[in-house]
Structure 1
Amino acid sequence: MFDWFHWLNLAGVAVCAISGTLMAYQKRMDGFGVVVLASATAIGGGTLRDVMLDVPVFWIADTDYLYTTLIAAFIPIIWLRISPRFPFHYLLIADAFGLALFNVVGIEKALANDTGMAVAVAMGTITGVFGGLLRDVICREVPLVLNGELYAMTCIAGGIVYGIGLQFDLATQWCGIAALVTTVLFRLGAMRWHWQLPVFYNDHH
């Protein structure tokens, strides 16, 4: 793997660990709960992806990811000890960036293991959403992926953009950047304007 891929993965782990720690703070969890929730959010999606691809689980093969998870979890802890007024809308923003980072990581790891583009898009989506799904289930919250606003679909949109980039022979770095930007913008747009893909309508007439 390229060094930039490694750093991209570390960034995704860090952002998602911060997201998990912020949720743990909201739920008034103890230290062990913080570690569990940060870890589940940060490495849950990648673990499922690697099991499905039948490759070594990334954080077992490289313990840098575990260290990154623990270090990143301390960032909001230190912040909240200094200033308890943490703007918690940042949790959703952190989640959006973690979603996008992991989406690209999942796509690229799948392609590196010789999957087709459709499978790579699926692996990107799984990598992006599963950690957050675990976090929300542990906290007994309605998972963001199921709450109506575009979530998993933003990963699919990013994956489609990645695939289009490959068709135009763009370097993988540029495909990754395009997919990252697409996923982030779609997710932030969905949060701001409540974009949805309704299937059932509440028509009681």
Structure 2
Amino acid sequence: MTELFHWFDLLGVMVFAISGTLIAHSKHMDGFGVVVLATVTAIGGGTLRDIILDIPVFWLHDASYFIAIGVAIMISVYFLNRHKQIPQQMLQIADAFGLAFFAVMGVQKALSIGMPDTTAIIMGVITGCFGGVIRDVLAGDMPLLLKGELYAITCIFGGIVYTQLSHWALPVEVIMVCAMSATLGLRLLAMHHKWVIHIFKYPE
């Protein structure tokens, strides 16, 4: 089971690294900028989570995360050098997949060390969102967390699905897939239908 979690973690790292690389391309960054942006996007949220939970940071003794980031960067660079431009929708979809993977992995990790459901959901939000926050700040953009279609709300929703299903006698794999699907599905629906939470009245 630990190996399954590790592979899900690596998949999430790769998807977020691709997201960071796409943003770096859109900002015309050099090679070092690409590596930095892809890396902080991929491991930033998980690093902050582990520091808050006071557990060993997940990548310190496991080089496979950096191998996954390197592979994701090379795939992205190859694609971008061939196609020259990327649809904005591709950026958002890549980010949505990374959000779903990492939110659920954050919840699972918190629960595995005995954290209560509420804390686990918060850790899911941090894991899913804060790599993207660091990415957007470095790229000079307003973080997606603070604007636009539902973002952190989708992590909360996925976390609730995970924590509630975990009280049932279901295989962990089923719970993870359900929670990831819930997070991803809500995020994609929010993007498609432009669902936002407005509390101020802004001029058009």
**TM-score in terms of structure 1 length:** 0.95
Corresponding residue of 2:14: 14
1:29 equivalenced with 2:17 (yes/no):
no
Q: CA deviation at 1:198?
A: 2.1
Corresponding residue of 2:101: 101
Give the Cα separation in 2 of the matches to 1:118 and 1:155: 12
Give the Cα separation in 2 of the matches to 1:160 and 1:28: 39
Corresponding residue of 1:78: 78
Corresponding residue of 2:123: 123
Give the Cα separation in 2 of the matches to 1:112 and 1:159: 14
Q: Percent identity?
A: 49
Give the Cα separation in 2 of the matches to 1:53 and 1:91: 30
Give the Cα separation in 2 of the matches to 1:88 and 1:6: 30
1:167 equivalenced with 2:167 (yes/no):
yes
Give the Cα separation in 2 of the matches to 1:193 and 1:106: 27
Report Cα offsets for 1:12-34 as digits up to 9, x if no partner: 00000000000000000000000
Aligned partner letter, 2:148: G
Q: CA deviation at 1:74?
A: 1.1
Corresponding residue of 1:111: 111
- After superposition, the CA RMSD in angstroms is 1.3
Aligned partner letter, 2:197: L
Corresponding residue of 1:38: 38
| Paired residue secondary structure (2:60) | helix
Q: Flag structure 2 segments of 5+ consecutive residues without an equivalent.
A: none
Corresponding residue of 1:155: 155
Report Cα offsets for 1:124-178 as digits up to 9, x if no partner: 1100000000110001111111113100000000011112212222222211111
Corresponding residue of 1:191: 191
Give the Cα separation in 1 of the matches to 2:23 and 2:103: 21
**TM-score in terms of structure 2 length:** 0.96
Give the Cα separation in 2 of the matches to 1:88 and 1:195: 18
